[in-house]
Amino acid sequence: MRIFHIQPGGVTESQELAALNTSGLPEQGFVWIACARREFEVTQTEIQATLQALCGTQLVDLHVSDLINNQLPSHYDYTSQYDVLVFRRLAAGNRPIDPEHPGEPLHQAPAHGGPPILRRIDTSPVGFAVFDRVLLTVHPADCSVRDAYAAKLLQAATSESRAAGARIATSPADLMLRIINQMVDGYLALRRELTQQLDHWQSELLSPRTRFKNWSSLLDARMALHQLDETCEEQRSSIQDWIEAVKTWPEPPTPAEARERELLQVRSRDVLEHIERVVHHVRRLEQSAETAVQMHFSVQGSRTNDIMRTLTVLTAIFLPLNLIAGIFGMNFEFIPLIHVHNGFWWAMGTMLLTATVLAVFFWRKRYLARAER
């Protein structure tokens, strides 16, 4: 568990949850409590007591169940005193947890195979409970997003970063959107790798010199893209619900708070726009993969037609030759040219002339022309 006291003048970190009950909230700023899912499940009594001391309320039992649930889709819910947002990020969703060491996963390789890029299309929920001056986040055990943003937050709190213009989150809602935006950046980076992998498969599918064999991987990719599309749709719906809820908040009493509310709405729309970009790109990848498969079978059908046409033409050329050979192979005593000294050469010349005339005829009709690709 990591606890951050975020104030306009800086950021301090501690790991003692009990200290919050005695010290309370700082005069300015807010508190960010970040814990792993299994850790939250084990220490939820202490966390609920801390929330009661800091915010005067506790999490509803249904929301506690939502934060513990590892299979919950992205969604938004609220009460009169806090908001709950669940957002699925790229992570190993079903990695086992060691019950003796809450917050630490058992390290084992993923069970499914396929290309490495497909193994990354797995998600795990991150829960956010947003109070007025407290943000509680529940992460997977090995949440790199939490650690990366915590390091970024501590770096932004230094004097050099403040001098360079780095801004610290001004409210729990602002901090939540910044963390979600970093999660969405992971999807934006993933789409580039997915595009490269699918482009490679498309070139193999359409290449006339290679035989495509990765059908199982391509099927896994289509299923993974469909799953990613559903995940992003749930994310977009939850952020839209959050944006609509922000519009119903009471009007801020001061111009400074009104400015912060406006920036919060702008950041929310920016996160929504990033999610929509991922959704549109994933759908284009799905259509591209489907089109590549259809073009592959169209090319294979065209190649089969070319082969059958060539074999048909060769059969038509050799059919008269077989007829001539059959006639001269009959067991009759009197056959024209059978007793002529140069009859064999007359027959061979006739057969060669017939084959040449038919070959030229079929070539002029473009029956022997290869289809351009």
Q: Classify burial at 13, counting beta carbons within 10 Å of its beta carbon; exposed 0-12, middle 13-18, buried 19 or more.
A: middle
261 vs 295, residue with greater confidence? 261
Write the DSSP string, 239-289: HHHHHHHHHTSPPPSSHHHHHHHHHHHHHHHHHHHHHHHHHHHHHHHHHHH
> How do strand 30-36 and strand 134-139 relate by DSSP bridges?
parallel
The two three-digit tokens of residue 67, written as one number:
């934060």
Cα 366 from Cα 163, distance rounded (Å): 75
The share of the chain scoring above pLDDT 70, in percent, equals 84
Backbone angles phi, psi at 126, to 5 degrees: -120, 125
pTM comes to 0.71
pLDDT at 62: 92
pLDDT 10s digits, 35-77: 888 888 888 888 888 888 888 889 999 999 988 888 888 899 9
Q: 22's torsion region: left (phi>0), alpha (psi -120 to 50) or beta?
A: alpha
pLDDT 10s digits, 187-228: 777 777 777 777 777 777 767 666 767 677 777 777 777 878
Mean pLDDT, range 314-326, rounded to an integer: 82
CATH class of the domain comprising 2-298: alpha beta
Do 104 and 96 contact (CB within 8 A), yes or no?
Answer: no
Mean pLDDT check: name the lowest of 148-162, 184-198, 271-285. 148-162
The two three-digit tokens of residue 140, written as one number:
């997977």
Domain ranges across the chain: 2-298, 303-364
Partnered with residue 75 across adjacent β-strands are: 86
CATH number of the 303-364 domain: 1.20.58.340
Most confident of 160-164, 323-327, 335-339: 323-327
Band of residue 160 on the pLDDT scale cut at 50, 70, 90: very low
pLDDT at 214: 67
List Cβ neighbours of 370 (8 Å cut-off, separation of 6 or more). 306
284 vs 367, residue with greater confidence? 284
Check whether 99 has a pLDDT greater than 50: no
Band of residue 117 on the pLDDT scale cut at 50, 70, 90: low
pLDDT 10s digits, 229-250: 888 888 889 999 999 998 888 8
> How do strand 2-7 and strand 30-36 relate by DSSP bridges?
antiparallel
